[in-house]
Amino acid sequence: MEPVLEVEGVTKTFAGVRALDDVSFSLRPGEVHALVGENGAGKSTLIKVLTGVHKPDSGTIHARGVISTIYQEVNLIPLMSVASNVYLGREPRKRFGLVDWARMNSDAAALLKDYGIDTDVRRPLGTLSVGAQQMVALARAVSVDADVVIMDEPTSSLEPREVETLFEVIGRLHERGIAIVYVSHRMDELYRICERVTVLRDGRRVHTGPLADLPRLELVSMMLGRSVGDIRSHGATAFEGDHEAGREPVLRAEKLTSGNRLGGVSVEIKPGEIVGLAGLLGSGRTETARAIVGDLPLSGGTVLVGGKQVPQGNVAAAMRAGVSMLAEDRKTEGIIPHLSVRENIVLAALPKLSRFGLVSRARQDRIVDTFVKRLRIKVSSPDQKVAELSGGNQQKVLLARWLCTEPKVLLLDEPTRGIDVGAKAEVQALIDELAKEGLAVLLISSEMEELLDGADRLIVLKDGAVVGELAGEQLTQDHVLAAIASGGADD
Amino acid sequence: MTDTAKTVDRTRVARWLQEYGVYVAVVALVLFNIAFTANFLTVGNFRTQLIQAAPVLVVALGMALVIGTEGVDLSVGAVMALSAALVPLYLGAGTLPAVAVALAAGLAAGTLNGVLVAKVGIQPIVATLALLVGGRGLALVLADGQLIQLHDPDFLALGNGEVLGIPVSVLIAAVLAVLVAALVGKTAFGRRLVAIGGNRRASVLAGLPVNRVLIGVYAICGLLAALAGVLSTARLGAGDPADAGLLMELSAITAVVVGGTPLTGGRVRILGTVMGVLLMQLVRATLIKHNLPDSTAQMIQAAIIVGAVYVARERSSR
Amino acid sequence: MTAAPTMAAQDSTRRELMTGVLQKQGAAIALVLMVAVAWLLFPRFGSLDNLRDIALQSSFLAIIALGMTFVIITGGIDLSVGSVYALGGVLAAYGSQWGFLVALLLPLAVCGLIGLINGLLVAKTGMAPFIVTLASLLFARGLLLAITTEGATTYKIPEGEAFVELGRGTLFGFGYPVFIAAALCLIGGLLLRRTRFGQAVFATGGSEQSAKLMGLPVARTKVTVYVMSGVLSGLAGALTAAYLQSGVTVIGVGLELDAISVVVIGGTLLTGGMGTILGTVIGVGIRTVIQNVINQIGTLDSNYQSVVSGAFLLVVVVLQRSLARTTARR
């Protein structure tokens, strides 16, 4: 059978870094093909090359038809109606080129029923749940007579029921001979619906083959580049795991409630303890951290640090009380790109470094020096613009910023996301060190291994509520998934 | 390989132009004038140019701060008009009270803008638009639409007097430039301002008093605009709210942008702003001296704005 | 890889829509109330003559605001409309010496060209619309000065020239410009709500990045709306010249702000992605009624108009924001 998509020797370089290095693979009609790899392995670059966003530096792409994509973030227009979104750019028309609303709406309604969406198609897309929006995106992608549909982490914001619908749809697409490239890190899903798998690592294709007979451990080891035995015995992180916690909790967050995002979440952390927050995307982990640091308006609940209540909704007050947070997205929420490393580090500690409003250069230099050394931040000089640093070093700069504030409680939201392996290990080791020194740490991570290795205790969240607390022997992936699966409002 | 090399070169050129372009342009224009303009290299001419540029610089300093926070203040011209209307009304009580009232009005206007932007969350263009629309009208109402001649010698000295051979207004502008530069570079307020313009969200998460800084920035801008209004009124010798500060927001924004301060915020270049003001002043003067009409001057100014912003635009999308 | 949108995004969408809808309804109610009150307080207000006058006064701004609505919905702004309007008037008067066609087409062509340059700069180079159109404002004014010998020459349209009819002719007592404005607004509304182009306009303003990913001609859409804005402003200027029988050089200063005001008052979101022509028309109505009432009072300084307009805009925008906030607190 002739392949519907043929990729040969594609290479793409960005600023000296090989995002894709001589990647080849082919797709048969109707095939459901898994594309896996760690962050930075090249998956998103490959997708962008396939959809024409980037031109490959070398290599060829032969596509025998239309390629459609649905992304992890729903890339539709929230303010426009559901039907409008489905047919945007291809609206059915009447005489004089006028849009035929009636037909568009009825066509859209009929189309969406197949995807489990039974709602008024005239309502704005943004009022639907994220899962429903994702379905609309999928319906649109398929309806353009696509021969290949690329799905980038499609289930990351879906309810289990919606996931089932998605799989039904994928089954139907498969029967119609439409090929699917399924990008995900969720093993269960991959093994359930995908026939073959291509593994990318550091921009290179390291494996392509049938999925059914491939043991999971082997798949993971190929993704990570570690041998199977290694993973089994040492784990994949630099956490050492044993901390001595104090007796009284230094942080007591009680019954945090905010709209329908947080429903009475309570978290306690003792000094020297690393508490992890586990849960699916959208379960309220980031919201919990934000609430504790005062960045989320609360309709109920209190935060106590060292026994004293912290005024709500005010980041500065939380920081004065000793709480600091490393935000999830360092690019949009962390670094001030055009300022120097020095300025970025001292940003939160300005009140301490200035007298009568004038900033003391000497004190700045001293602090910056200390942290650059301690965190091993690779810079040509503290005056270097922080935007020029690698992801790992930027993350260290941000950690230095928060450590400057001498916090009692440190909230870390995805501290090792998108940074290279070496820096990752350094950051993890540093977190360990800080806990040993008596810092109370809240750790949010979407990498299960990191969470299980690093945390002393795990709080499992689902839909904005706590559905389980795990410690000691219970710190395994199965326990976490079980807690997520069984916990919940409608069970 | 060639593609990336070309883009890198272009970016480097663009960045160099943004950093130093204005200095080069000023030097080039000065040289041109020395060669082709009669009486350019005279003390009298320099004096005239500097006196004309002084109020623009004062406004541009405030505008640079606002633009540094990724905002803009379209109401500076209207605030100047308010000064032009208020000074004659209070000059009877003395120069100091009159100036104080004008400055207070500017401060109040700026604070209002700041509150609208920071607390209410309105976009700077819209917030300052309201004052732009209503401010000049208010000034005209206060002055009964009249141009009022002023005769108080103390007040007029602000516009025409000299200290050690340097015109008062020029001295004030120069001192302010130094002060504002120090404010931006050395104070916590200034560093916070730059951080907020660079990444607002990150600044909030770092516990910076964002609202306070924003209100402060717009207040300073209003205050400086009022001061510029006082200076230009003093030089004119009359309170003319219909004409005072007309299109000043354009001149100020042009000078700031041409001087290398990006509209996207995060960087404030005071020296660049000073150069920008001088450049625009030189452009205008050169065109006038060579008998090029107002129309050409405006079109050239427009082209310069576009050129400067084009060169300065960030490649990364926001 | 960013986190998936949470409930916050749904709230945000609801908020924006509610704001726009309430805004428009609020504006409509305000207009009705104003007209009613004015009718009661000022006997001259309700006279047919006055109503015809109001309609004529509104028509020029309406045409300009029509173009501005499209631009704002795409998330942009056009600060050059006032100068382009004045330029259009001068060009029309200047071109009238060569007959009706030139008088009409010259301003449309030149002003459309300026709009084209605006659009290309915004769409292709990613420069901020407000600075690009600010430069155009200056440029257009300069051009105007250039062709009128620094503002000294006021071209008069020759007596008996057919072009004048366009501005001064009446049908049932209402000036032609009223009908032209009404027709254009109807067409504009149709274009916005019932064509693929209109959908592309909403999409571009709603989420430019998504629109691009969905394969929409975002750049082309942007260029088109700026060209429209230029042409419509030029047309309004030409009609004004016809009405005044000459190309007045000093008009249009600050007109862009009036245009933006009425668009915003009518419920179109400045952030883009949402808006209606009807709302803009209501906004124009409100503004003209205010002007007219101030004139009726007679004793008030005409400068009060701008003060009231400024205050009104302020109140409206603040209300818009507070509305957005309260609907979110659920």
Range of the domain at C53: 47-253+268-274
What's the CA gap between B151 and B156, in Å, rounded? 7
Residue C292 lies in a domain: no
φ, ψ (nearest 5 deg) of residue A58: -155, 165
Rounded to a whole number of angstroms, the distance from the CA of C301 to the nearest CA of chain B is: 7
CB within 8 Å of chain A, chain C residues 249-288: 273-274
- The reply to whether residue C330 touches residue A44, judged by beta carbons under 8 angstroms, is no
Q: Give residues with Cβ within 8 angstroms of B72, minimum separation 6.
A: B63, B66, B124, B125, B128, B253, B263, C130
Asked if B191 and A336 come within 8 Å (Cβ–Cβ), the reply is no
Question: How does DSSP assign A388-400, residue by residue?
Answer: GS-HHHHHHHHHH
pLDDT at B313: 67
- State the smallest CA–CA distance between residue C328 and chain A in angstroms: 10
- Residue positions counted in chain B: 318
Q: Would you place residue A40 in the very low, low, confident or very high pLDDT band (cuts 50, 70, 90)?
A: low
Contact flag A98-C16 (C-beta cutoff 8 Å): no
Confidence class of residue A224 from pLDDT cuts 50, 70 and 90? low
pLDDT at A139 over 60: yes
Q: Which residues of chain C are within 8 Å of residue B138 when distances are taken between CB atoms? A: 303, 307, 310
Query: Which residues lie below 8 Å from residue A112, measured CB to CB, with a gap of 6+?
Result: A82, A86, A118, A119, A121, A135, A136, A139
Considering the domain boundaries, does residue C314 fall inside one?
Answer: no
Strand A179-183 to A274-278 pairing = unpaired
Residue B49 to residue A278: CA distance in whole angstroms: 67
**Chain C contact set for B127 (CB, 8 A):** 317
Q: Mapped to the 3 state alphabet, what secondary structure does chain B carry?
A: CHHHHHHHHHHHHHHHHHHHHHHHHHHHHHHHHHHHCCCCCCHHHHHHHHHHHHHHHHHHHHHHHHHHCCCCCCCHHHHHHHHHHHHHHHHHHCHHHHHHHHHHHHHHHHHHHHHHHHHHCCCHHHHHHHHHHHHHHHHHHHCCCCCEECCCHHHHHHHHCEECCEEHHHHHHHHHHHHHHHHHHHEHHHHHHHHHHHCHHHHHHCCCCHHHHHHHHHHHHHHHHHHHHHHHHHHHCEECCCCCCCCHHHHHHHHHHHCCCCCCCCCCCHHHHHHHHHHHHHHHHHHHHCCCCHHHHHHHHHHHHHHHHHHHCCCCCC
Q: Which of C226, C145, C131 is nearest to B303 (CA)?
A: C131
Residues from chain A that touch B208, judged by Cβ atoms under 8 A, are 316, 347-348, 350
Cβ pair A348:B266 closer than 8 A: no
Closest CA to A125 of A77, A90, A169, A92: A77
Which of A62-66, A188-192, A395-399, A443-447 ranks highest by mean pLDDT? A395-399
Of B135, B300, B306, the CB nearest to C132: B306
Position B315 scores a pLDDT of: 46
- Per-residue pLDDT at B317: 33
C131–B302: do the CB atoms touch at under 8 Å?
no
pLDDT by residue, tens only, chain B of 318 residues: 445 555 666 677 777 777 787 888 888 888 888 888 877 888 888 888 899 999 999 999 999 999 999 999 999 999 999 999 999 999 888 889 999 999 999 999 999 999 999 998 888 988 888 888 788 888 888 888 788 888 888 888 888 888 888 899 999 999 999 999 999 999 999 999 999 999 999 999 999 999 999 999 999 999 999 999 999 999 988 888 888 888 888 889 989 988 889 888 889 999 999 999 999 898 888 888 888 888 888 898 888 888 888 877 654 332
pLDDT value for C34: 80
Residues of chain B found within 8 Å of residue C310, distances taken between Cβ atoms: 130-135, 137-138
Instruction: Give chain C positions within 8 Å (CB) of B299.
Output: 138-139, 142-143, 146
List residues in chain B touching A: CB distance below 8 A. Answer: 1, 4, 186-189, 191-192, 194-195, 198-199, 201-209, 266-267
Between C8, C190, C213, which is nearest A75 by CB? C213
How many domains would you assign to chain C?
1
Whether A343 sits inside 8 A of B207 (CB atoms) is no
Whether C21 is covered by a domain: the verdict is no
Instruction: Tell me, yes or no, whether C233 lies in a domain.
Output: yes
Contact yes or no for C261 and B133 at CB 8 A: yes
Nearest chain C residue to A262, by CA? C7
For chain A, percent of residues with pLDDT exceeding 70: 94
Cα→Cα distances B304→A151, A219, B257, C220, C330, Å: 47, 59, 10, 26, 49
Q: Which two tokens stand for residue A9?
A: 């020797």
Contacts of B201 in chain A (CB under 8 A): 332-333
| C5–A130 C-beta distance less than 8 A | yes
Task: Identify all chain A residues contacting B189, using CB atoms and an 8 Å cutoff.
Answer: 357
SS3 call for C169: coil
Question: What does the block give as tokens for C248?
Answer: 């007045």
Residue B68: closest CA among B232, B165, B237, B203: B203
- Cα of C9 to nearest chain A Cα, Å: 7
CA distance B313 to chain A (A): 14
pLDDT at res. A230: 52
Is the residue at C32 inside a domain? no
| pLDDT for position B4 | 53
Is A339 in Cβ contact with B195 (below 8 Å)? yes
Is A338 within 8 Å of B206 when comparing Cβ atoms? no
Instruction: Establish if A334 touches chain B: CB-CB under 8 angstroms.
Output: yes
Asked, for residue C130, whether it belongs to a domain, the answer is yes
pLDDT at A113 > cutoff 50: yes
Give the residue from chain A lying closest to C8, CA to CA: A261
pLDDT digits (tens), chain C, 330 positions: 333 344 556 666 776 677 667 767 777 887 888 888 888 887 777 788 888 888 998 999 999 999 999 999 999 999 999 999 999 999 999 998 898 999 999 999 999 999 999 999 999 988 889 889 989 999 999 999 999 988 788 888 887 788 888 888 888 888 899 999 999 999 999 999 999 999 999 999 999 999 988 889 999 999 999 999 999 999 999 999 999 988 888 888 878 888 998 998 888 888 889 899 999 999 999 888 888 887 777 766 667 777 877 787 788 777 777 766 655 443
Give the best residue of A323, A336, A341, A356 to mutate against chain B (max B CB count within 10 A).
Answer: A336
Domain contains C20: no
Identify residue C269 by its one-letter amino acid code: L
- Chain A positions contacting chain C at CB under 8 Å are 39, 44, 71-80, 84, 88-89, 91, 93, 97-99, 101, 124-130, 133, 140, 153, 156-157, 259-261, 281-282, 286-287, 328-329, 417-418
State both tokens at C70: 């499209």
pLDDT at B251: 87
Check CB contact under 8 Å for A73 and C214: no
Q: Cα separation of A441 and A450, whole Å? A: 14
**C299 part of contact set with chain A, CB < 8 Å:** no
Give the 3-state DSSP-derived string for A195-213, with helices as H, strands as E and coil as C: CEEEEEECCEEEEEEECCC
Indicate whether C263 belongs to any domain.
no
Q: Do C307 and B250 touch (CB under 8 A)?
A: no
Instruction: Look at residue A227 in the predicted model and tell me its pLDDT.
Output: 57
CB spacing of B267 vs A354 below 8 angstroms: no
Which range, A182-191, A460-469, B201-210, is most confident? Answer: B201-210
Give the distance from residue B242's alpha carbon to the nearest chain C alpha carbon, in angstroms: 10
Check A336 against B266: CB less than 8 A apart.
Answer: yes
CA distance C329 to chain A (A): 8
3-state secondary structure (DSSP) of residue C73? helix
CB contact under 8 A, B204 and A348: no
User: And the tokens for C312?
Assistant: 């009104």
Range in A215-229, A401-415, C185-199 the model is least confident about: A215-229
